[in-house]
Amino acid sequence: METTRSSTALRAQLVVRPAELADRPGLEAIEARIWDGDDYLPHVIDDWFNDPYNGFYVAALHDQIVGTVKLTRFAEGEWWMEGLRVDPDYHQQGISRILHHFVINQVRQYRYGVVRFTTSSLNVAVHRLALQTGFEHKASYLPYSAPPLNEPVQTLVPLTPADAPRVRAWLEGSPHFARAQRSYESDWSLYYLTDARLATRLETGLVYGWGEQQLQGVVIVNPARDASWPDSELLKIAYLDPGADVAACLRDVRRLAAFLERGGVRLKALKQPERIQALANAGFEREWDGEVWLYARDLSLTRFAQVLTEELPPLS
């Protein structure tokens, strides 16, 4: 009973507001205690402060920052929720729930589009929040990596902007593309693979074709990060869809990593039994036991969600 009363009193004093530059020390104190101090937030916080669409919020208790969350506009009608963090000293106080509901309340003004986010399969509390607010679990991804393979690349070939029509035709006919929610992955975020984004990736040499005579698959890689990122030396796969013989394509991706002088390959693979076996056959290993779960919700369904606005603190 005492715990319930104290949690209720804490929430009554909590304020959710837009993040300010003066909040940086408080945010850094939280991120230092997340993921063993290896949180990605330090690498993106400047971008979040400078986001022209805003969406960067903090939960403040008196003068102390105890939580944060970010709502990012990827494109017209495409929203991404990320960076939900709570000071470990304030876990189990309902702050994550308040921040989650707050963000959903912010997107209630939009009548179309989708809001999505990813979370660990181990984060049961977030799963409950997702279901309470109308989200659906759309896909599961598994984290894998492998060392480079010091052999000549055999079948992967770089594609150019002129290849856009046949790449799009391949994707539209691919069951894997549909199961992957028509998206590619970059640092835990999922982006719809629109024609504009495909064109940009082709222009920057990040798209490879699989097949000797005709296009039999597509591999899209992510651009290299600067050296401040801890895994900047790795070749990160954004989307891999070789059709048949997945293991052969994965081995060629390892050869590509060696050719590009990368320290290894990392990807989040769509959870499918045949793909898991192909990863093992190609020399990939699971990085950790959990999964990455993708949740999505159509904004046109907002009026049906159980968004508990009466529990939200005022936006100041």
- pLDDT tens sequence across 264-299: 999 999 999 999 999 999 999 999 999 999 999 998
Give residue-wise pLDDT tens across range 241-253. 998 889 999 999 9
Amino acid at 34: I
With beta carbons less than 8 A apart as the criterion, state whether 164 and 257 touch.
no
pLDDT at 182 over 80: yes
Q: Tell me the mean pLDDT in the region 103-115.
A: 82
Amino acid at 265: V
* DSSP 8-state secondary structure symbol assigned to residue 144: E
pLDDT at 303 over 60: no
Domains 2-110 and 142-290 share a fold: yes
Q: Tell me the mean pLDDT in the region 23-32.
A: 88
Question: What pLDDT, on a 0 to 100 scale, did the predictor assign at position 301?
Answer: 58
Please state the CATH superfamily assignment of the domain spanning residues 2-110 in this structure. Gcn5-related N-acetyltransferase (GNAT) (3.40.630.30)
Question: What pLDDT, on a 0 to 100 scale, did the predictor assign at position 227?
Answer: 58
Cα–Cα nearest to 158, from 262, 54, 264, 256: 256
Pick the CATH number of 142-290 from 3.40.630.30, 3.40.50.620, 3.40.50.2300, 1.10.10.10: 3.40.630.30
With beta carbons less than 8 A apart as the criterion, state whether 32 and 64 touch.
no
Give residue-wise pLDDT tens across range 61-72. 988 999 999 999
Instruction: Pick the range with the lowest mean pLDDT from 14-28, 106-120, 157-171.
Output: 106-120
Mean pLDDT of the chain: 88
Give the domain ranges of the chain.
2-110, 142-290
Give residue-wise pLDDT tens across range 206-232. 999 998 778 999 999 999 876 556 667
Instruction: Pick the range with the lowest mean pLDDT from 16-20, 21-25, 109-113, 163-167.
Output: 109-113
Residues 7, 5: Cα–Cα separation, whole Å = 6
pLDDT at 313 over 50: no
Instruction: Tell me, rounded to whole angstroms, the distance of Cα 66 from its chain centroid.
Output: 23
**b (16+ CB within 10 A) / e for 52-90:** eebbbbbbbbeeebbbbbbbbbbeeebbbbbbbbbbeeb
Q: Tell me the mean pLDDT in the region 103-131.
A: 88
Highest mean pLDDT among 31-40, 109-118, 212-221: 212-221
Amino acid at 102: F
Question: What pLDDT, on a 0 to 100 scale, did the predictor assign at position 292?
Answer: 95
Question: What pLDDT, on a 0 to 100 scale, did the predictor assign at position 308?
Answer: 46
**Virtual CA dihedral for 90, 96, 97, 101, nearest 10 degrees?**
140
Q: Tell me the mean pLDDT in the region 119-141.
A: 93
